[in-house]
Amino acid sequence: MPDTTKNVVLFEICHQIPGRMRLRVPILLKEPALALRLEEALGRLDGVQTVRCNPACASLTFHHRVSQVPGTDDLTRLLQPLIAPTRHRPQMTRRAPLSRAPERHPVTVKSPRTGSGCLLCQMKLSAARWILADIWRCWQHNLTQRMRNLLVTAGIA
């Protein structure tokens, strides 16, 4: 039977600028609990200042000192022991029930209004909406003009 473990991507560097690097770690999609261990491991690396992980996007972002850029070999040596064992775990035969996180803001459903209201109220409401939309457009136009003027005087644009 051929060995397919060599074709599996442990991570790839998606984006890199001086002082910041973003890695794509595909195993995070399947095992989000691994994120905390990866964050802790990267946090112990010399030069790394902050680490943030987003398992839903399989993304691992960290800030580091510009003078101490971690190389691909360093990252592989650090992350491989954490990522590699997870690929060989046996699949569970029975699914455990998922626990739901408590809702922060309870959702309330309002019932629709039964009456259409008086004609005068409907006219006032549509006039108010029209006026507010016009004010919003004027405000946006005024703001963009002021920003353009600031950029031109600063010599950026």
20 contacts 62 by C-beta, under 8 angstroms: yes
Residue 129 predicted with pLDDT over 80: yes
Residue 43 predicted with pLDDT over 70: yes
**Residue 24, CA distances (Å) to 31, 56, 86, 140 in order:** 14, 11, 16, 38
The secondary structure of 87-128, three-state, reads: HCCCCCCCCCCCCCCCCCCCCCCCCCCCCCCCHHHHHHHHHH
The pLDDT confidence band at residue 99, using thresholds 50, 70 and 90, is low
Q: What is the mean pLDDT of residues 115-127?
A: 83
Domain limits of the chain? 9-87, 118-157
The pLDDT confidence band at residue 128, using thresholds 50, 70 and 90, is very high
Residue 153 predicted with pLDDT over 60: yes
44-48, 73-77, 114-118, range with the lowest pLDDT:
114-118
> How high is the pLDDT of residue 101?
53
Residue type, 140: Q
- CATH number at 9-87: 3.30.70.100
3-state DSSP assignment of residue 94: coil
In angstroms, how far is the first alpha carbon of the chain from the final one? Answer: 62
**pLDDT, the chain, mean:** 79
> How high is the pLDDT of residue 6?
54
Distance of CA 81 to the CA centre of its chain: 26
Residue 3 predicted with pLDDT over 70: no
pLDDT tens profile 14-30: 888 999 999 998 888 88
The C-alpha atoms of residue 14 and residue 24 are separated, in whole angstroms, by 6
Please choose, from the candidates 28, 21, 31, 25, the residue with its C-alpha nearest in 3D space to the C-alpha of residue 11. Answer: 25
> How high is the pLDDT of residue 116?
62
Whole-number percent of the chain with pLDDT over 70: 74
